[in-house]
Chain A
Amino acid sequence: MGEAVLKAEPLRDQLAQLARQQGIQQWDLGASCSSDTSVQVDRGEPKQIKAAQRSAITVRVWNEAGLVGITSTSDLSPEGLSKALSGAKEASGFGNPDDIPAFSPLATAPVQPLQQPWHEPVNILNLLDTLKDAERQLLERHVAIGTVPYNGLAQRSSERLYLNSAGACRQQALSTASLYLYARAVETGRKPRSAGAVRVAYGSTELDVAGCIDEAAERTISHLAYAPIATGHYTCVFSPEAFLDLIGAFSSLFNARAVLDGISLSTRESLGQALAVPFLSIVDNGLHPGNIGASNFDGEGTPTQRLPLVERGILTHFLHSEATARAFGVSPSGHAGMGAKVSVGPDYFEIGPAGSGDPATAGVAGLDQNHHDGPLVVIDSLSALHAGVKASQGSFSLPFDGWLIRGGERVSIEAATVAGDIRQLLNTLIGFEGSAKVTPDGVCPWVWVEGLSITGEA
């Protein structure tokens, strides 16, 4: 990799000097910078070619009364830093005395090294050629595939940094690349259908382009023969991606910040209690090798770690920042952002059976949608999670793409929603199908669920 853009020592010295000038004793800083290039194409022609150089800094300061203020800026000049410090100092006058963040006690603890090969960015015109070729191949897969309206090939080189006035210093550099292909297919007299696929890697030359084309084509073609579905309750099978999306949308169940704020369905007393069927395990593991773009420290400098959340159906741990960990009397878990009020969030879920062999810890064995008479609804992908999930109520009502299996035949569903309650869903899991799939958002097998409400147009 090239020379670091974010230089920790000069930045620390500069900030320490500015802080002294403004009478600020305690401060910390999160900084990031990135260089991105991306291309989009439209039927063999470049559609948009983009590049961006971004930089951002967030500083927190503690005032004489111990209250915290924060300011963010994209201006990394000495004037910008000085203004950020004074802004944070002014904001600290409105700090919340009931919830004062402190430096993480783990901000100088060893972090686990990550195997993240660095790739220098390739010429943007090479990206364009790769994407044009991928689009062409996808269009050739089926006569009905007329366009690939949503597509993109992007690469990013980024750095991030955490510093504090007590001497902590974390720094990470990372290169990533992503490819998405979303095809649209139309047959005469029929409605247009669409589906897509995504791939991520540490560099554009490492992307599984062929796999992305295959998956996008296969999924799009599989939705061409469609029919409406009758409204009712169905046994459902969630794809790994769809189940990970659903659990992610309800991650406030595991979020200590949400628990303290009263917006989680969980409470302090939920730890140690059953949340799901006894054969479900959920782990947050930002260090999983499948987590392209993983970071080995969080916004407060705490090392990232593997954290079991649900073991044999029992809620065992919450995700924590420094402040929430202090409130619960535990150690920070490495899931914090940075703020006057620090946010908490998951990194990368591993979902699957709690054990192997024992039916009590594995669910129903031998589940296979390809050898099932049905009726069975296969949920391939969920949409509009931002609108259809009420995390604090536990309810969801979501449009999805998928198939109905009946009499051994699989037919794409024209348009439908799936609705339910997350707590009920977690307790009506039937079992898992196949081995866990590694996706950009987590690891999960296919998940079978009993009796969900499906609204269709038949």
Chain B
Amino acid sequence: MTTTRSVSLADGWTPRLEHLLAHGRRAGADLVEVFVERTEHIGVLAEQDRITSVSPAFGLGAGIRVFRDQQDGFVSTNDLSESGLLMALDQALGMLGLVAGSSGSSGFEGLVPLRSFADSKRDWLERCPTLAEASHKLLEGTARLEQHGQHLQVRRGSYARDWQEVLVAASDGTYGHDIRLHQSLGLNVLAADGDHRASLGRRYGTSDSPDDLRRWDAEASALELTDSVGTMLYADYVEAGQMPAVLANRFGGVIFHEACGHLLETTQVERGTTPFSDKVGQLIAHPAVTAIDEGLSQAAFGSLSMDDEGMEPQRTVLIKDGVLQCFLSDRAGELRTGHRRTGSGRRQSHGFAAASRMRNTFIAAGPHRPEALIASVDRGLYCKSMGGGSVGPTGQFNFAVDEAYLIENGTLTKPVKGATLIGEAKEVMPRISMCANDLELAAGFCGSVSGSIFVTVGQPHIKVDSITVGGR
């Protein structure tokens, strides 16, 4: 299913957008923003040695947001006709008590010349693997799992390709155009032997890299996953309690994402749900911790040429040597909290208003070798592979640990399963006392106020001096 997008979404839109923006400003809006998108998605699922599902989807729509003072109204629609968009804009204006039709001046001076990041990306869909190629690659993955695994009851491979073209225009002159491409690939297995069962998965993802699936090393991925599930199949359940923990690099970074990253978004400042709202310039983490959020790393899942409000992303140092530096902010966040925009306005689709969200978020590398962290623990938990997690409205976080080992006298011993890490950011951040020198990033999905978005988490190996481990 290869499609050439020879016609740009931006073609012919400028007069329509200017008309809408002027219409909104004339009605009394402080700012009007229009986000137009079209999408093409394809999902492929391989089970055992068959392709069992191919699911293409495509979409078209717009989201219109109107600001007045510190309030905003947002309307999304699939109807991109002139009348459909005008009706949506009038509805958004009406939400703020504004009435269209005034003959006064709009004060809108027109859009600046389009800033397009899409020109070099027009052939990306053509360059992506065909359905046949993707299917072949997935089946290679499930075959490698069969070759290397034992007691595998279920072998699955999944591939998703998400192509999105966006156009963002606002009455402050913002006018941006971009094409995004995200590809992800997952392998999952369920192993069963008598009463023993273990299920594990791995996901790989990149952005803006059409050839990525072709470069995927199915052999290495299958070996790594079958090795882990073979170990976890016979693992005992972890004993619950408070203990030190060493979290592996890559997806271990989900701890920072959930425990702290969300609390550094201005949406949390607006709600009053972050304990860090008045802590800029203060020590909120161990001095060993420096944390960064950026949208720039090449091919990383959370990278962007521009955010969903048309702003170029930045490298934002959130915490330096334990001291809070700033928050991640979007347009509404800046308006309502005063924290300057950081190119972090993101949304799943036109159906959501943008909000301050993370991009590629990671704890910076430290000076230690990973082995030194494990060697420093008498009795604790090594979390090699993390599952999902979440953070609640009071800052409490939790994450499942998919693959873990006991640390006894500075050495990894037996595998254990069923662990959940729980705690509060305010208490755990000061306990991250050691960071290793092996920073790596991993692709993930983050669901929050503006929908599910592509992000990267990351960290080197880190040591948490004490954390609550839920188990049996």
Given A392-B199, A455-B240, A69 contacting B387 (CB threshold 8 A): no
Q: Mark A117-132, 1 if CB is under 8 A from B, else 0.
A: 0000000110000000
- Min Cβ gap B418→A in Å is 5
* Chain B neighbourhood of A399, CB < 8 A: 392, 396, 398, 420, 422, 470
Contact with A along B58-79 (1 / 0, CB 8 A): 1111000000001111111111
Contact among A45, A69, A192 with B54 in the assembled complex (CB-CB below 8 Å)? A69
Q: Is B282 interfacial (CB 8 A cutoff)? A: no
C-alpha spacing A311/B419, complex, angstroms: 33
Query: Does B410 sit within 8 A of A, measured CB to CB?
Result: no
Contacts of B423 in A (CB 8 A): 415
With A75-B58, A91-B56, A96-B50 known as contacts, the answer to whether A387 contacts B399 (CB < 8 A) is yes
Q: A75-B60, A76-B78, A393-B197 are in contact. Are A339 and B393 (CB under 8 A)?
A: no
Given A83-B58, A94-B51, A392-B190, verify A146-B471 contact (CB < 8 Å).
no
Partner of A455, one of B92, B153, B468: B468
How many pairs of A and B residues are in contact by the CB < 8 Å rule?
224
Q: Mark A251-273, 1 if CB is under 8 A from B, else 0.
A: 00000000001110000000000
- A contacts with B, residue count (CB < 8 A): 73
Q: Are A149 and B273 in contact (CB under 8 A)?
A: yes
Closest residue of chain A to B349 (Cβ to Cβ) is A74
Residues in A neighbouring B78, C-beta threshold 8 A: 53-55, 74-76
Which chain B residue shows the least CB distance to A389?
A: B400
CB within 8 Å of B: which of A54-88? 54-55, 69-76, 80, 83-84, 87-88
Kindly state whether residue A231 has any CB partner on chain B within 8 Å: yes
Asked whether, in the complex, the Cβ of A340 is within 8 Å of the Cβ of B54, the reply is yes
Which chain B residues border A91 with CB–CB below 8 Å? 1, 54-56, 131
Complex CA distance for A223 and B94, rounded to whole angstroms: 40
B95 x A49 contact (CB < 8 A): yes
B394 touches A194 (CB 8 A): yes
Q: Which residue of chain A has its CB nearest to the CB of B472?
A: A453
* CB <8 Å contact, B470 and A455: yes
Complex Cα distance, B241 from A71, in Å, reads 49
The count of residues in chain B whose C-beta lies closer than 8 Å to any C-beta of chain A is 75
Which residue of A has the minimal Cβ distance to B50?
Answer: A96
Q: In the docked arrangement, what's the CA distance between A69 and B44, Å?
A: 12
> Are A419 and B420 interface neighbours, CB within 8 A?
yes
Residue B88 at the chain A interface, CB threshold 8 Å: yes
CB distance from B281 to the nearest CB of A (A): 23
Instruction: Kindly supply a per-residue 1/0 record for chain B positions 160-201, scoring 1 wherever the CB is within 8 Å of any chain A CB and 0 otherwise.
Output: 000000000000000000000000000000100000011100
Report B40-59 residues with CB < 8 Å from chain A CB.
44-45, 47, 50-59
Instruction: Determine if B453 is an interface residue (Cβ-Cβ < 8 Å).
Output: no
Residues A74 and B59 in contact, CB atoms below 8 Å apart: yes
Instruction: Let me know if A339 and B77 touch, CB within 8 A.
Output: no
A397 touches B (CB below 8 Å): yes
Knowing A75-B59, A392-B197 touch, does A54 contact B351 (C-beta < 8 A)?
A: yes
CB-defined contacts of B199 to chain A, threshold 8 Å? 263, 390, 392-393
Once the chains bind, are A453 and B387 in contact (CB under 8 Å)? no
- Smallest beta-carbon distance B442→chain A, Å: 16
Residues of A within 8 Å of B54, CB to CB, are: 69-70, 91, 94-95, 340
Determine if B75 and A50 form an interchain contact, defined as CB atoms under 8 angstroms apart: yes
Cα(A400)–Cα(B59), bound, Å: 38
A384 engages B390 (CB within 8 Å): yes
**A194-B51 CB under 8 A given contacts A147-B271, A231-B241:** no
Q: Assess whether A87 is in contact with B75, with CB atoms less than 8 Å apart.
A: no
B-side contacts of A53, CB under 8 Å: 75-79, 88
Give the Cβ gap from A113 to chain B, nearest Cβ, in Å. Answer: 30
Q: Is the CB of B470 within 8 A of A386?
A: no
| CB of B330, distance to nearest CB on chain A (Å) | 13
- Give chain B nearest CB distance to A33 CB in angstroms: 9
| Interface flags, B269-311, vs A, CB<8A=1, else 0 | 0111100000000000000000000000000000000000000
**B230 contacts the other chain (CB 8 A):** no
Compute how far the CA of A86 lies from the CA of B184 in the bound complex, rounded to whole angstroms. Answer: 25
* Of A69, A341, A419, the contact of B418 (CB 8 Å cutoff): A419
Is the C-beta of A388 less than 8 angstroms from some C-beta in chain B?
Answer: yes
Q: Can you list 26 A-B contacts (CB < 8 A)?
A: A46-B71, A50-B75, A50-B76, A51-B74, A51-B76, A52-B351, A53-B78, A54-B76, A54-B351, A73-B59, A74-B58, A88-B56, A90-B56, A93-B131, A95-B54, A96-B51, A184-B273, A261-B154, A383-B398, A384-B390, A387-B420, A395-B418, A397-B419, A398-B420, A415-B424, A419-B240
B contact residues vs A (CB 8 Å cutoff): 1, 44-45, 47, 50-61, 70-79, 88, 91-92, 94-97, 131, 135, 153-154, 190, 197-199, 237, 240-242, 270-273, 351, 353, 387-390, 392-396, 398-400, 417-420, 422-424, 468-472
> Using a CB–CB distance below 8 Å, which chain A residues touch chain B?
42, 45-55, 69-76, 80, 83-84, 87-88, 90-91, 93-96, 98-99, 124-125, 146-147, 149-150, 182, 184, 191-194, 231, 261-263, 339-341, 383-384, 386-388, 390, 392-395, 397-399, 415-417, 419-420, 453, 455, 457
Query: Which 9 residue pairs of A and B lie closest in terms of their CB atoms, listed nearest first?
Result: A417-B470, A387-B388, A455-B240, A72-B57, A149-B271, A455-B470, A49-B95, A341-B53, A74-B59
